[in-house]
Amino acid sequence: MSFKPIKIVSMGQYLPVQKVDSASLEKELGLEEGWILKTNGVRSRHYVNAQETGAYMGAQALQKALNRANMQFEDLDLLIDASGSFDFPIPHNACLIPRELGILNAGIPCWDVDSTCLGFVTALDMASYLLDGSRYSNVAIVNSEIASKSLNPKDPKSATLFVDAAIATIVSYCSTDEGKGVLAAGMETYSQGAHYTRVKGGGNALHPNTKTTFSDFTFAMEGKAVMRLGMQKILPFVEKLFSTVELEMSDIDCIIPHQASKMALDFAQKVFKWRSDQMVSILADYGNCISTSIPLALYTAIESGQLQRGDSCLLLGTAAGLSVGGLVFVY
């Protein structure tokens, strides 16, 4: 692909009010002290309360991003919701967000993209094609995930890993002279792993009005199979991704992997030889936030000053599908 000049103008974060540390979750689930940190690498996480919906969290994050960019909602040309979880089967997520901001009549197009954990990468990749400075000058991407309602206490590995959080990102067209933009992006889907990560019930395959049980509506993950297939596919994928850019992995200033699990992060750091000054890891403090993990790690890197204007950055992850995906850009 050719260079796509775009600029991440601002980001906004919303974390649910309720913070739950691993010690109290271990008590609740009857797990040994220290089991969660050892197994999943997670120290604490946020869970929504009864008032916090996906649209509410997404709207709060978007308002913060708009404030930082000194923009109004009406300055956007498009709102993409790129979450893997949803408030309602119908309508889709994006149209609920302006409503939460009290904006009922803006006419800004709102639609959803779903590639589960890779949602942000897919949406940013897509935005880089849409942003032409004419029809599209400013696009907002919202990732707002609620995993906590679909956790199964009988499956402590996933019940202590997945969490809730929202991030909004404003991406704008910019001139090629600025040097900011997408250098390369890609995604590969291997449907042999389509059922490795799933919530079985709630759609038409197992409709909620048919005979179901509690666990049908909760996350189920074949963790080892996901790791095996992900490891096998991500190495050639990364090689292909970098074959089209004039940078080596070691040149990248900031590397943002999906915060899938401790095992996945450890594996990736080792196999790709990421230096600790390159890699961003927020798993311990936030858990796996589905599609919000990558933009939340990006937000954290920007806030801490680890990612500076002009730096190169790699987003890289896996998703239910099973997909591998990544994007190299200049911030």
Which residues, numbered 100-129, are part of the site for its own copies (CB under 8 A)?
103-116, 118, 122, 126, 129
> Considering only residues 94, 141, 168, 265, which one is a binding residue for its own copies as defined by CB under 8 A?
94
Task: Please report how close the Cβ of residue 136 comes to its own copies at its closest, in angstroms.
Answer: 9
Shortest separation between residue 62's beta carbon and its own copies, angstroms: 13
Q: Please name the helix (run of DSSP H) or strand (run of DSSP E) that holds residue 272, with its range, or none.
A: helix 262-272
- Output 7 or 233, the one with its CB closest to its own copies: 233
As measured in angstroms, the least distance from the Cβ of 58 to its own copies is: 12
Q: What is the CA radius of gyration of the chain?
A: 19
C-alpha to C-alpha distance for 5 and 1, rounded to whole angstroms? 12
Q: How far is the CB of 143 from its own copies (least distance, A)?
A: 14
* Residue 17 sits in the site that holds its own copies (CB under 8 A): no
Number of residues that bind its own copies (CB under 8 A): 80
Instruction: Determine the residue type at 111.
Output: W
Residue in 189, 247, 267, 311 binding its own copies, rule: CB under 8 A: 189
Query: Over the range 31-55, which residues count as b (16 or more CB within 10 Å of their CB) and which as e?
Result: beeebbbebbbbebbbbbeeebbbb
193-212: contacts with its own copies (CB under 8 A): 194-195, 197-209, 212
Among 75, 188, 222, 311, binds its own copies (CB under 8 A): 188
Under the binding rule (CB under 8 A), the answer on residue 134 touching its own copies is yes
150 binding its own copies? (CB under 8 A): yes
Q: Does 239 bind its own copies (CB under 8 A)?
A: no
**Which has the closest alpha carbon to 162: 288, 320, 28?**
288
Q: Does 224 bind its own copies (CB under 8 A)?
A: no
The single residue among 16, 41, 321, 326 that binds its own copies, judged by CB under 8 A, is 321
Torsion angle, alpha carbons of 279, 167, 3, 233, to 10? 50
Q: Where are the beta strands (DSSP E) in 195-320?
A: 197-199, 219-221, 254-257, 312-319
Among residues 141 and 199, whose Cβ is nearest to its own copies? 199
Pairing of strands 78-81, 138-145: parallel
User: Among 102, 141, 134, which Cα is nearest to 9's?
Assistant: 141
Stretch touching its own copies by CB under 8 A, among 6-14, 89-97, 257-265, 269-277: 89-97
Binding flag, residue 235, its own copies (CB under 8 A) = no
Tokens of 253: 């200033």
User: 8, 168 in Cβ contact below 8 A?
Assistant: no
Residue 43 vs 198, nearer CB to its own copies: 198
C-alpha to C-alpha distance for 283 and 295, rounded to whole angstroms: 13
Q: Does 217 bind its own copies (CB under 8 A)?
A: yes
149 vs 224, which CB is nearer to its own copies?
A: 149
CA–CA gap between residue 162 and residue 5 (Å, rounded) = 34
320 touching its own copies, by CB under 8 A:
yes
Q: Is 53 in the site for its own copies (CB under 8 A)?
A: yes
Q: Which of 19, 99, 224, 309 binds its own copies (CB under 8 A)?
A: 99
> Under the criterion CB under 8 A, does residue 218 sit at the interface with its own copies?
yes
Q: Measure the CA–CA gap between 84 and 1, rounded to whole angstroms.
A: 26
